[in-house]
Structure 1
């Protein structure tokens, strides 16, 4: 039987998962940015920058928790083909849902300032998802947990 992970171990594991979600989000926004124009392109650029900043912050956090940050993959499989601006908007909402889910796990696993940062990131991802989708969800970060 494997021993139950410590709270620090759970926080590290959740931070690594959030880091992986941020890597994937940055990749996805590269695809999204190529398919949208006008105000949506500006939203995509802003979200891309936010995800890069959070990725960098999580890289530092993982190191502070004693881990080796997971590197980004060379490419990520998208859940569907992205050919139109509507496809790009749907992808953006899905990315934000997945990011919110990862931060939801980090909120549960972390304590103190890291928990606050994770809660802020979860909230921001939920707002971005609602903007891309045009409607919010009742429990952001739990959509994948159904």
Structure 2
């Protein structure tokens, strides 16, 4: 799980977004273990959404540039996750970080790629809001989703 790179190359920003999607899918495996009932169902749905976006982006990059970043065997978590509270905190963090990568892609993409980036940013922002609400975090929304500072 890393910060977006400062690049203006459309292929690179999409590759960075793909790396963020890889990390999100991996993190939801950790998150889901610590949740039950509706929260676990929401984690599964979030993981499926990230898998779908990852798969579409994999195909797009493979067909376009042929430069597809590899997935890693594991990712460093920003903090230990040992309980429900930590899992919810990580879910918010994952969505915010992934949103940051899609936000970074917006000024460097056009047409369908820009639409993809905007849809992904919106999806991440909505999921982060839901996770904040589930965790009891206020405010539940942020003014500029995906902004790192």
> 2:23 — aligned with what?
24
The yes-or-no answer on 1:60 pairing with 2:59 is yes
Residue among 106, 118, 139 paired with 2:144:
139
> 1:100 — aligned with what?
99
In structure 2, how many angstroms separate the alpha carbons of the residues matched to 1:84 and 1:92?
12
Q: CA RMSD in A?
A: 1.2
In structure 1, how many angstroms separate the alpha carbons of the residues matched to 2:103 and 2:63?
20
In structure 1, how many angstroms separate the alpha carbons of the residues matched to 2:95 and 2:63?
25
> 1:38 — aligned with what?
37
What is the Cα deviation at residue 136 of structure 1?
1.0
- Deviation >4 Å, runs of 4+: none
TM-score, normalised with respect to structure 1: 0.90
TM-score, normalised with respect to structure 2: 0.88
Q: Which digits, 9 at most, give the CA deviation of each residue in 1:69-108, with x for residues without a partner?
A: 1111101010111011110000000000011000011111
Contact 1:15 1:61 in 2 (8 A): no
Give unpaired runs (5+ residues) of structure 2.
1-6, 134-139
Give unpaired runs (5+ residues) of structure 1.
none
> 2:87 — aligned with what?
88
In structure 1, how many angstroms separate the alpha carbons of the residues matched to 2:122 and 2:59?
21
User: What is the number of equivalent residue pairs in this alignment?
Assistant: 137
What is the Cα deviation at residue 14 of structure 1?
0.4
In structure 2, how many angstroms separate the alpha carbons of the residues matched to 1:83 and 1:91?
11
